[in-house]
Chains A and B, each alone.
Chain A
Amino acid sequence: DTGVSQDPRHKITKRGQNVTFRCDPISEHNRLYWYRQTLGQGPEFLTYFQNEAQLEKSRLLSDRFSAERPKGSFSTLEIQRTEQGDSAMYLCASSYWTDPAEAFFGQGTRLTVV
């Protein structure tokens, strides 16, 4: 296991299109997080899964955003009807229940909405 992987690394899409990102966490980690990072800012929390259950969502996560983690393994983050303000780096992180705050991050998916 080489860590948290995210796909794609880069995505350019036209405004109004739907996009989906995938995150594969470290295999034994039961917690999975999505964060968003804009230029010059630190990452901001979007949502959190414990196994397959989505237990917390930020107010940043508008109804155009949806995340899933079927079977408690990989996760997907979908953005519908993208807007230019959605342009950001989307980061996935995972952690183990014994040390939940020590999160391991993927390299992120950079989304550009044109």
Chain B
Amino acid sequence: GNSVTQMEGPVTLSEEAFLTINCTYTATGYPSLFWYVQYPGEGLQLLLKATKADDKGSNKGFEATYRKETTSFHLEKGSVQVSDSAVYFCALSIAKGGSEKLVFGKGTKLTVNP
């Protein structure tokens, strides 16, 4: 089946630190990969995505590269800010002409301290 495994949190960093949140996947077929973010009190928002191998998604200083050989899509940011404190979800969907529903990991809570 299709599944996503991401590193367990919580993760606590100081402002301007480097962030990595690991994500690996198992999929039948060729998934698209996503990172969603959930800020406190808000709904899930798409942060970035990649639709094929070696694609790099980027947004707001965050990056993730679709690595087919290691079935990974790790999220990175060079210098985090307090405003990046949120829960981050890695997800995949399979484009088979069906529902293309999202399969999520459990989420990683990030806290950035000033």
Min CB distance A38 to B, Å, is: 10
| B: interface residue count bin | 20 to 34
Mostly helix, strand, loop or mixed at chain B's interface?
strand
Q: Is the Cβ of A91 less than 8 Å from the Cβ of B106?
A: no
**A-B pairs under 8 A by CB, number:** 61
Q: B34-65 interface mask toward A, CB cutoff 8 Å, 1 = contact, 0 = none?
A: 10100000111110010000000000000000
Sort A-B residue pairs by CB-CB distance and give the 5 closest, nearest first. A42-B104, A105-B44, A48-B99, A107-B43, A101-B93
A105 and B91 CA atoms in complex are apart in Å by 14
A41 and B8 CA atoms in complex are apart in Å by 11
| A: interface residue count bin | 20 to 34
| Chain A 6-34 residues near chain B, CB threshold 8 A | 31, 33
Min CB distance B55 to A, Å, is: 13
Q: Is the Cβ of B107 less than 8 Å from the Cβ of A55?
A: no
Given A101-B34, A102-B49, A107-B42, answer yes or no on A43-B102 (Cβ-Cβ < 8 Å): yes
* Further 13 A-B residue pairs, CB within 8 A, beyond A56-B101, A93-B44, A102-B46: A35-B102, A40-B106, A40-B107, A42-B4, A42-B104, A100-B95, A101-B32, A101-B49, A101-B93, A101-B100, A103-B46, A104-B46, A105-B43
